[in-house]
Amino acid sequence: MELYSKLLEVSRLFRIEHEYLGYETIQVGNVNQTYKVNFKRADGSPKSYLIQNVNTYAFQNPEGLMSNIDKVTEHIRGKKSGQVALHFHHTADRATYVLDGENFWRLTNYVPSVTYNVAHNMDIVRNAGIAFGDFQRSLADFDINNLVETIPGFHQTRQRYDEFCKAIEEDRAGRVAQAKEEIDFLLSVKEQACKMTDMYLAGELPLRVTHNDTKINNVLFNPQTDEPMVIIDLDTVMPGLLGHDFGDAIRFAANFEEEDSRNLEKVGVNLAVFRAFTEGFLSQTLQFMTEKEIETLPLSCFVLAVELATRFLADYLNGDLYFNIKCPDHNLVRARCQAALAKDMLAKMDEMEKIVRNCCSEFGR
């Protein structure tokens, strides 16, 4: 069936009855297909929704994934009366998705907004910190047992290292020799990188609802005021550690360079961005965070950079099976960039700790 008619059929299954005007393809994310579908209401006013075709190769448990997303978004929506919130529509039989053979469709409200890929403006960075902190705060009372672990061991750093070591041993693509320096570095910092997971396993850190993809471009901002409105891309919402969300956000937003930069001498943590994000995040989360969680925040940035470096490098060694690549050495370049960032984070660990402590006392803790 033609896409034009398919999107109409899906909309009707989600009980959208307005007059159909057509669709636009939205270029976001590397994984799912996103379309904006446009309608006219009976009173003549326009109304749009987003339809996504979920990539079931990347997300092998789409039912579990939608169950997680639905529970989490409805929990947040319940706390935000009158404010913009994300809402996944249901079919007549209360499903949040439509399965038609090879395709897995879902439909949400459309939020007119602006997003940012890079973080030059500290007010916007602080607002992104507020948005992800608010996400944590809204879900602090959510029963974690209601969530499915859709990608088992997603942030089990020791498991990531096992996969990395297996890739080195097998050397399937014959690339180990080219990556020797990065391999040695990543192996040398293993114990420190695994410290956060170890603390969790020792019962020192609580499990929370984590977003697990806290890039700044997953925050929708109000186009007029730059206030944060909603967090999107909830596909990896799962039980996790608070540091996973904090560290991933810093790893992405506070790097002077992009995630796959070849300018390794310029790669590093921008402490002004670190401070602004931390201020925003802690303004929302300090009231319920444990002392140990606070302690892990600077470390979490290093952990997330190293963990992702092992994932990129393992994928490079395996012959690029997981991440989309734009050039043959893309995963090696990404791994080098994350490793360089991790090194800079080690050098600046004391400064990051000081900033976290300063923010804590600013907020009376």
Residues lying near ligand GN1 in the complex (CB under 6 A) are found at 29-31, 213, 236, 259, 308
State which residue, 148 or 271, has the beta carbon closest to Mg ion: 148
From ligand GN1, Mg ion, none, interface partner of 259 (C-beta below 5 to 8 A by class): ligand GN1
CA 15 to chain centroid, in Å, comes to 30
Q: Rounded to an integer, what is the distance from CA 23 to the centroid of its chain?
A: 27
**Window 218 to 237, contacts with Mg ion (CB under 5 A):** 233
Question: Is there binding between residue 248 and Mg ion (CB under 5 A)?
Answer: no
Q: Which stretch binds Mg ion (CB under 5 A): 2-10, 195-203, 207-215, 306-314?
A: 207-215
Contacted entry of ligand GN1, Mg ion, none for residue 30, CB cut-off 5 to 8 Å set by kind: ligand GN1
Q: Smallest gap, in angstroms, from Cβ of residue 334 to ligand GN1?
A: 8
Pick 46 or 319: Cβ nearer ligand GN1: 319
Contacted by 134, from Mg ion, ligand GN1, none: CB < 5 to 8 Å by type: none
Q: In the complex with ligand GN1, which residue's Cβ is closer, 39 or 277?
A: 277
Confirm or reject binding of residue 213 to Mg ion (CB under 5 A): yes
Shortest approach of Mg ion to residue 215 CB, angstroms?
A: 7
Q: Which is nearer to ligand GN1, 235 or 279 (CB)?
A: 235
Of the pair 289, 309, the CB lying nearest ligand GN1 is at: 309
SS (H, E, C) the chain: CCHHHHHHHHHHHCCCCCEEEEEEEECCCCCCEEEEEEEECCCCCEEEEEEEECCCCCCCCHHHHHHHHHHHHHHHHHCCCCCCCCCECCCCCCCCCEEECCEEEEEEECCCCECCCCCCCHHHHHHHHHHHHHHHHHCCCCCHHHCCCCCCCCCCHHHHHHHHHHHHHHCCCCCHHHHHHHHHHHHHCHHHHCHHHHHHHCCCCCCEEECCCCCHHHEEECCCCCCEEEECCCCCCEEECHHHHHHHHHHHHCECCCCCCCCCCCCCECHHHHHHHHHHHHHHHCCCCCHHHHHHHHHHHHHHHHHHHHHHHHHHHHCCCCCCCCCCCHHHHHHHHHHHHHHHHHHCHHHHHHHHHHHHHHCCC
Residue 308 contact partner, candidates ligand GN1, Mg ion, none, CB within 5 to 8 A by sort of partner: ligand GN1
CB nearer to ligand GN1: pick between 250 and 294: 250
Cβ nearer to Mg ion, comparing 290 with 324? 324
144 touches which of Mg ion, ligand GN1, none (CB within 5 to 8 A by kind)? none
Question: C-beta of 213: minimal distance to Mg ion in Å?
Answer: 4
Count interface residues toward Mg ion (CB under 5 A): 2
Q: How far is the CB of 102 from ligand GN1 (least distance, A)?
A: 20
| Site residues (vs Mg ion, CB under 5 A) | 213, 233
